[in-house]
Amino acid sequence: MNKLNAMLILVMCTLILAACWDQIEIEERAFIFGMAIDAADKTEVKLTQQLVVPENMATVAANAGGGGKAYRNLSSTGKTIYEINLDLAKQASRSIDSTHLGVILVSEDIMKQPGRFKEHFDVFFREKRMRRGIKLAVTNGLAEDLLYVEAEHEKIPAEYIKNLLENKKRLDVTDLVRIGDIDEKLYEETSFPLPYLKKISSTVIDYEGIAIYNGKEERMVGVLKGDDAKALSYIRGLKNNGSINTEIDGGPMTIEILTIKRKITLTNNDPNNLQFSIKIQIKGAIADQSGWENLKEYEVLNKFYKKTSEKIEEMVKNTINKLQNDFQTDAMGLGEYLNRYYPKIWKEVQDEWDNGKNYFSKSDIDCEVKIVIEEPGSINKTTSK
C-alpha cells in the first residue's frame, strides 16, 4: 500500500513539473493591447501592433505624469497578417502575447476595397487564443495614426480607444462591435454597421459615425453621421442610452433615452413587393429644458409628444432612404428578420437581397415612432401677474 501511495505521489509531481516546462516568465513577454491594419499597396497590408512591456507599465505607474512611454508600436508589411505577425515577433525580442488584445482598427481604405477586409480578418477567427470580445472599429485615414494618440488620462493609446468604444453614454449612435459579432455575418455575407473613428488631434479621437459594410459586395459602402447615425440605432432597437435634442415653443430641450423598443412586421410577403412596418417606442427623461412650458399640462405634453415623434420619424425616414437608395445596403437587420421568421421568403430573396435585383431597396418600409417621457415634471414655468 505504501509503495502504491509513493508511486501516485511521484506521478502527480511529474505531471505538475511537466505542466510548467514551457512557461514563459511575465518579464519575457510583450503584451499586445491594440492592432491597426492599413493598406500598403494593392496586394500588401501594413500591420501595426501596440506592445506593452510589464516593467515599463510599473515604472510609469510609479512615476505618474513623468518618465518614458508605457508602450511601443511595431509595424511591418506583407501579403498576409500571419506572415507579418511572424516578422513582428522577431522585432519584439520577446514572446508576443495577444491575450490582452483589446481593440483592432481597420482603415477606411482597406474596408472600401472589395474582399480585402474579409480576406485579412480570417486569421483572427482561426487563432484559438484570440478572444471573441476584442473591439473592432473603422478609421477615417490611417488606422496606425490612432495608435499614436496620447490622451491626457490614459498612458496607452489602445486602452484609450477601447474605453472610448465601451463608453455607452458617448456611443449614442451604434452598439459596440466585437469580432465575435461579425464572424457569422462575414461567413453568411450579411451586411452590418461598424463604429467609425477619426483622429482630431494628437490627444483626441472622436466618434465620427457609423460605417456601413455590404456583406455581398464585401466592402464598406458609406458612412452615416449625426442624426442619420442616431436614427439607425433607433431602427435597430439596440440602444438603451444616448440623447435626443428637440425643442418646445422655440426653447431647446434634451431628452435622455432610457429604453428603445423596436417591432418589425412583414405586412406584404410578395417577394417582388415586400412591405415592412417598423414601430419604435422610446422611453426617456428630460435632461435639460430651457423653455417656459410646464410639461405636466395635458395639452403641452401632447404637443411635445407629437412634435418630438414627428422629428424622430423624419430622422428615421431619411436614414432608411439613404440605406435603400444611396448605399443600397441593409444595415437595419430586415434580412435577419426574414431569415428568422420567414425562412421560405428569405431563401427566395437572400442571394440578391442587397445586391443584384436588390429586394431590400425595392421594399416599402413604413415607420411609426412613439415617445414617452417618465416624470415630465415642471422645470421652468412662468406665473402671470
Q: What pLDDT is recorded for position 92?
A: 76
Distance CA 35, CA 240 (A): 29
pLDDT tens, position by position, 93-151: 777 888 889 999 999 999 999 999 999 988 888 776 778 889 999 999 999 999 999 98
Q: What pLDDT is recorded for position 10?
A: 57
Residue 335: pLDDT over 70:
yes
Residue 248: pLDDT over 90:
no
Of 287 and 235, the one with more pLDDT: 235
Provide DSSP, 346-361. Answer: HHHHGGGSSSTT-HHH
Look at residue 276 and give its three-state secondary structure.
strand
- Determine contact, residues 372/282, Cβ cutoff 8 Å: yes
Which of the given ranges, 67-81, 197-211, 284-298, has the highest pLDDT on average? 197-211
Residue 322: pLDDT over 50:
yes
Look at residue 255 and give its three-state secondary structure.
strand
Query: What residues pair up with 257 in beta bridges, in sequence order?
Result: 284
Of 304 and 182, the one with more pLDDT: 182
Q: Can you tell me the mean pLDDT for 25-33?
A: 73
pLDDT tens, position by position, 188-221: 999 999 999 999 999 999 989 999 999 999 999 9
* All CATH 3.30.300.210 domain ranges in the chain, comma separated: 226-377
Pick from 368, 369, 349: nearest CA to 360: 349
- Determine contact, residues 116/220, Cβ cutoff 8 Å: no
Look at residue 312 and give its three-state secondary structure.
helix
What is the average pLDDT score of the chain?
84
Percent pLDDT > 70 in the chain is: 80
Q: Binning pLDDT at 50, 70 and 90, where does residue 385 land? A: very low
Of 94 and 278, the one with more pLDDT: 278
Q: Binning pLDDT at 50, 70 and 90, where does residue 305 land? A: confident
Which of the given ranges, 6-10, 65-69, 73-77, has the highest pLDDT on average? 73-77
Q: Binning pLDDT at 50, 70 and 90, where does residue 69 land? A: confident
Residue 40: pLDDT over 90:
yes
- Determine contact, residues 317/287, Cβ cutoff 8 Å: no
Q: What pLDDT is recorded for position 257?
A: 85
Residue 378: pLDDT over 70:
no
Q: Binning pLDDT at 50, 70 and 90, where does residue 173 land? A: low
Which of the given ranges, 120-124, 168-172, 299-303, has the highest pLDDT on average? 120-124
Q: Can you tell me the mean pLDDT for 326-334?
A: 97
Percent pLDDT > 90 in the chain is: 52
Pick from 305, 317, 315, 318: nearest CA to 370: 305
Name the strand (E) or helix (H) holding 265: strand 251-268
Q: What pLDDT is recorded for position 174?
A: 66
Distance CA 216, CA 361 (A): 14
Look at residue 164 and give its three-state secondary structure.
helix
CATH no. for 226-377: 3.30.300.210
Query: What residues pair up with 31 in beta bridges, in sequence order?
Result: 52, 97
Residue 7: pLDDT over 80:
no
pTM of the model: 0.85
Of 84 and 126, the one with more pLDDT: 84
Distance CA 50, CA 149 (A): 12
Residue 222: pLDDT over 90:
yes
